[in-house]
Chains A and B, each alone.
Chain A
Amino acid sequence: AQKVTQAQTEISVVEKEDVTLDCVYETRDTTYYLFWYKQPPSGELVFLIRRNSFDEQNEISGRYSWNFQKSTSSFNFTITASQVVDSAVYFCALSEGVLNTGFQKLVFGTGTRLLVSP
């Protein structure tokens, strides 16, 4: 079965610190997709990134960057110079069985709560 592990339950940092959120996944699929979502205190889910298993290039978007390493089955997320508005729960997710079923259902980790204090 596919599984996503976010070992960090909660992280607290002070504004302007860099912070990395870890995500480790398990899958038997050779083709799969990884996602990060942000859930701010208001509760909605905000899509951040999708990465397919063939693309191991790191990605940077402003203060956000992602490090995908197939060798360690990890897809870590780094926020540089964190801000109070980054306070949220962050979920890593894995798509399951896309090639077999033609659609994807996401398997989510349990989330990491990030608290950024001023």
Chain B
Amino acid sequence: NAGVMQNPRHLVRRRGQEARLRCSPMKGHSHVYWYRQLPEEGLKFMVYLQKENIIDESGMPKERFSAEFPKEGPSILRIQQVVRGDSAAYFCASSPLAGPYEQYFGPGTRLTVT
């Protein structure tokens, strides 16, 4: 039973390029959460999605960041025109239902902006 999959595990981008981070939730999970972990900090909530819907994006920067979770395929976190401050680990989590269920985390994508 595969866990949450994220790819790539490591991503290097130059300033101004686009970064696309992918997350495949656990089988049977239709709720996806994205968190960002800046160096030496805890994780911070970015966005919560269900299939084809963004439910809460209150933690997402207003510009350059977007997320989607299409009917088919993985959830995508997209960062346009990356800047050095975007360097962080981005974690995806999934749960089977909304509500107070365990969120199972993927291994994270470590984005480095040079």
Do A and B truly interact? yes
Residues facing A in B22-55 (CB within 8 A) are: 31, 33, 35, 40-45, 48, 55
What residues on B are CB-neighbors of A103 within 8 Å?
31, 48, 55-56, 98-99
Cβ-defined contact, A43 with B89, below 8 A:
yes
Cβ-defined contact, B48 with A47, below 8 A:
no
**Which size class do A's interface residues fall under?**
20 to 34
Cβ-defined contact, B107 with A108, below 8 A:
no
* A4–chain B nearest beta-carbon distance, Å: 8
**Which size class do B's interface residues fall under?**
20 to 34
Which candidate, A12-20, A75-83, A94-102, is the interface stretch facing chain B? A94-102
* B33–chain A nearest beta-carbon distance, Å: 7
What residues on A are CB-neighbors of B33 within 8 Å?
105-106
Q: List 28 A-B contacts (CB under 8 A).
A: A33-B100, A35-B102, A37-B105, A42-B107, A43-B89, A43-B107, A44-B108, A45-B91, A45-B105, A47-B104, A47-B105, A50-B100, A91-B42, A98-B99, A101-B56, A102-B99, A103-B56, A103-B98, A104-B100, A105-B56, A106-B35, A106-B43, A108-B35, A108-B42, A108-B44, A110-B41, A110-B42, A111-B41
